Amino acid sequence: MEALKSIALLDSGVGGLTVVKEIFKQLPDERIVYFGDTARMPYGPRPQEEVQKFSMQIIDFLQTQYVKMVIVACNSASAAGLPYYQGNVKYPVIGVIEPGVRAALSYTSTKKIGVIGTAGTINSRAYEECIRGLDPAVEIVSLACPLFVLIVENNLIGAKETKKVAEEYLRPLKEAGIDVLILGCTHYPLMAEVIQEVMGPEVRLISSAEETAREAQEILNEKNLLNPSGNNSCHHRFFVSASPENFVEIGEKLINMKVKAYQVILPAI
């Protein structure tokens, strides 16, 4: 039965687990299957075509795992080719950019929005296009913060240098006087505390995880695909492309459950 299948999620590493956490909160009866491409992360500095190929390769793998929906839980991969994945997959495929933008627009009163993300996401201008498409009057200040992904993946969020890096990166945004900041990389919610500290309490941080989970819920509901059977956490599956230790350590803390991750060696493309 279609509704009993899993929701597939992919990211370059642990970042997409911020979306998984929200799925568990909003859709506790659903099973997930997750792929973190830890051998090839970070995606941010890579060319768009390469990220698109990597993402499609992973989606193809995930489609062998009894799934009913794919969530591209990575902004860089969403920016690199969401319409392409949607055109090549028979299940609903959603990304993380539009849900975050909708949330940001609902919170801004000054209509001055900041966006931070990987170099790939920021250079793609995917956020600008999406924001302008929904509200052309909004002023956007966007900025790449490439080191944040490496800080998260290397478990350095608490290190004293991290605050300095954040202060350095975020200075232009502080000076721009935004009232909403979109965390345009799924790794960044893991650094929300330090980002909030640097930006100050008057700036609202938006993680697209919450909105993405809501959109997934809406689509599954509309298509009659919500799991009616009740959850069994033993059925969640996690795959990574490098050795799983680091992913498991960070992942268990983040989603607050035992994580068993299996390594899948992806063929070079």
* Antiparallel, parallel or unpaired: β 6-11 and 32-36: parallel
* Antiparallel, parallel or unpaired: β 93-94 and 139-144: unpaired
Other Cβ atoms less than 10 A from the Cβ of 138: the count is: 18
> Chain centroid to CA 9: how far?
9
Q: 96: buried, middle or exposed (CB in 10 Å: 19+, 13-18, 0-12)?
A: buried
Residue number with CB closer to ligand DGL (41 or 225): 41
DSSP-derived 3-state class of residue 7: strand
Least Å from the CB of residue 80 to ligand DGL: 9
Residues in contact with ligand DGL, shown as a per-residue x/- string from 128 to 167 under the rule CB under 6 A: ---------------------x------------------
Residue 15 is a binding residue for ligand DGL (CB under 6 A): yes
Nearest C-alpha neighbor of 185 from the set 208, 211, 157 = 208
Quote the longest CA-to-CA distance of the chain. 54
Residue 185 is a binding residue for ligand DGL (CB under 6 A): yes
Residue 208 is a binding residue for ligand DGL (CB under 6 A): no
The catalytic position among 74, 130, 145, 234 is: 74
Residue 114 is a binding residue for ligand DGL (CB under 6 A): no
Task: Rule CB under 6 A: choose which of 7, 36, 42, 105 binds ligand DGL.
Answer: 42
**Is the CB of residue 140 less than 8 Å from the CB of residue 96?**
no
Task: Rule CB under 6 A: choose which of 6, 57, 186, 241 binds ligand DGL.
Answer: 186
Residue 55 is a binding residue for ligand DGL (CB under 6 A): no
Q: Which stretch binds ligand DGL (CB under 6 A): 26-34, 57-65, 123-131, 184-192?
A: 184-192
Output the CA torsion sign for 171, 157, 145, 112: negative
74 is annotated as an active-site residue: yes
Binding residues for ligand DGL, rule CB under 6 A, total 16
Q: Which stretch binds ligand DGL (CB under 6 A): 61-69, 73-81, 198-206, 237-245?
A: 73-81
Residue number with CB closer to ligand DGL (16 or 92): 16
Q: 166: buried, middle or exposed (CB in 10 Å: 19+, 13-18, 0-12)?
A: buried
Residues annotated as part of the active site: 74, 185
Binding site for ligand DGL (CB under 6 A): 11-12, 15, 41-44, 74-76, 118, 121, 149, 185-187
